[in-house]
Amino acid sequence: MKDAAAFRPLQVLALAIFLATVALLSLQRKLSVLGADIWWHLKVGEWIVQHHAFPHTGILSRTAADRPWIAYSWGYEVLLSRAYAWFGLPGVALYGALLTVMVAFSVFWMARRLSGRFWPACLLAVICCYSFLLMRVAPRPAFFSIALFCVVLTLLLEALRTGHVLNLYCLPLLFLLWANLHIQFIYGLAVVALLLVVNVVLQLAEHVGSASNYLVPRSLPTKQLAAILALCVLATMIGPYSYDLYGVILRYSQAKVPYAMVQELQPFRLHFYGNYLQLLLTAAAFLLIGWQKKLDLFKLALLALATFLALRTMRDAWFQCVAAAACIADIGWTHSEAEEGETPLELAGVVAAVVLATVFGAHAVNFNRPALENAMSAVFPVDAANYLRQNPAPGPLWNIFDWGGFLAWYLPEYPVSIDGRTDLYGDALVDRLYQTEQADRGWRDDPYLNESGIVLLRTRDPLTPLLQNDPRFRQVYEDRIATIFLRR
């Protein structure tokens, strides 16, 4: 297309600006060093590298040290530990920025492949990223899940469009990688299984002969889809933890307490502008699906599943946004001639431009080690931990939930009482320790608090003034963030 070719330099520039903006916003907000779970992930990665083994019990914890636990995001954690080992705190932030850019590009790539148009793909990527990626979400292992989900969903929709199943045989390799990076590979498997179920339903409808006028007909062979799904499931079991990953998934599905106490695990609420975009994107996708002459049962089921999960927990907003963007891209430009995709040379130019913009823009967004340390000190008890380093006291340590991951990394000589690994601690223990943190429900009788030699709390926590008047403890340190008590 000659008209599109004339705008190629502008398109490449726009893509570079988009990705560079995402990278610089990530560095500016310093979310990579402010996430509560980043630090236990980092410590687990260091443990794996140091011991040349994979943990199977609750390392780093003193209340759950003997409980079974697996590092289901070990690939992410090892990479994170190498980023810190090579570059220090800036390495952690750069790793997070890289993951954020990877997600942004994956959404763009998905929309570009499905729509065959640059500008609609770019617009969809911007809306998606503003909806779930550029809010206050720290880079985490789930970013690998988002990127890989974009690839899997693209391959599935392309197969449905063309009727060719050959490209789907690469899915097991993707799931092999995915299962060793993050446990939300189960979302990808669910979508592949959903396609198989829809295919079976359409096959039955064809047999009855009553659905041909209002449903998009089946285009893929059911037996081959079933074989691909089976291979994908087997691929997820190739790794240090094999089928034990599914036990973790089962425990997460049965948990209740974390969904009540962790904000991002709570049901969808309209807190930010991005939440409204999330709803608008989903509404547009449903409208397009319903506007077609024949109903695409797979797209409808996919969007319904994604909406259910996103409304159930805010953390899964990405699933809804990506599914909606994919449906819009796949439907909106189906009948138009596709533009030629970006060449490897053009993509190399985009990468170079993003790297240069990040390097030269780092000073403008105040990205440096002192700024990262200051940001951390404003959120985590760095000074209080330094006090314990300089004035060691007999443990064990009792700490609040939000600081457990940081203390597991920064103060490893004192195993934590709790951290963000809710699958390790279970509902009963998480509830017991959290109720004590809130000075509620018999906190005086908490056995974990009563056996502790050190208690590290927020200065503003409701338990802090109670311990100041408790004859069992004496206060030895206080700053605007943290307070330390020692047993008398």
Span 17-37, average pLDDT = 91
pLDDT attached to residue 336: 62
* 401-429 pLDDT tens trace: 999 999 999 999 999 999 999 999 999 99
Q: How confident is the model at residue 264 (pLDDT cuts 50, 70, 90)?
A: confident
pLDDT of the residue at 5: 60
Cis peptide bond upstream of 462, omega within 30: no
Average pLDDT, the chain: 91
Is the predicted pLDDT of residue 2 greater than 60, yes or no? Answer: no
158 has pLDDT over 60: yes
Q: In the predicted model, what is the mean pLDDT of residues 108-122?
A: 94
Each residue's pLDDT tens digit, 224-260: 999 999 999 999 999 999 999 999 999 998 888 888 8
CB 44 within 8 A of CB 53: no
Distance CA 260, CA 276 (A): 23
State which amino acid sits at residue 16. Answer: A
How many whole angstroms separate alpha carbon 248 and alpha carbon 141? 15
Which CA distances in Å does 95 have to 80, 88, 139, 470?
A: 7, 11, 9, 44
When pLDDT is averaged across residues 216-228 and rounded to a whole number, the result is: 89
List, for residues 355-378, the tens digit of each pLDDT value: 999 999 998 999 999 999 999 999
**Contacts with 36 (C-beta within 8 Å, 6 or more apart), sequence order:** 402, 403, 404, 405, 406, 420
Between the CA of residue 133 and those of 71, 142, 257, 321, 389, what are the distances in Å?
25, 11, 26, 10, 37
**Other C-beta atoms within 10 Å of 161: how many?**
12
User: Average pLDDT of 111-121?
Assistant: 93
Query: Is the model's pLDDT at 136 over the cut of 80?
Result: no
Q: Convert the pLDDT of each residue in 65-94 to its tens digit.
A: 999 999 999 999 999 999 999 999 999 999
Share of the chain above pLDDT 90, in %: 75
3-state secondary structure the chain: CHHHHHCHHHHHHHHHHHHHHHHHHHHHHCHHHCCCCHHHHHHHHHHHHHHCCCCCECCCECCCCCCECCCCCHHHHHHHHHHHHHHHHHHHHHHHHHHHHHHHHHHHHHHHHHHCCHHHHHHHHHHHHHHHHCCCCCCCCHHHHHHHHHHHHHHHHHHHHHCCCHHHHHHHHHHHHHHCCCCCHHHHHHHHHHHHHHHHHHHHHHHHCCCCCCECCCCCCHHHHHHHHHHHHHHHCCCCCCCHHHHHHHHHHHCCHHHHHCHHHCCCCCCCHHHHHHHHHHHHHHHHHHHCCCECHHHHHHHHHHHHHHHHCHHHHHHHHHHHHHHHHHHHCCCCCCCCCCCHHHHHHHHHHHHHHHHHHCCCCCCCHHHHHHHHHCCCCHHHHHHHHHCCCCCCEEECHHHHHHHHHHCCCCCECCCCCHHHHHHHHHHHHHHHHCCCCCHHHCHHHHCCCEEEEECCCCHHHHHHCCCCEEEEEECCCEEEEEEC
The answer to whether residue 335 scores a pLDDT higher than 60 is: no
Q: In whole angstroms, what is the distance from residue 366 CA to residue 101 CA?
A: 19
Q: Give the dihedral of Cα atoms 63, 67, 68, 71; nearest 10 deg.
A: 10
**CA–CA separation, 353 and 358 (whole Å):** 8
| pTM for this model (two decimals) | 0.94
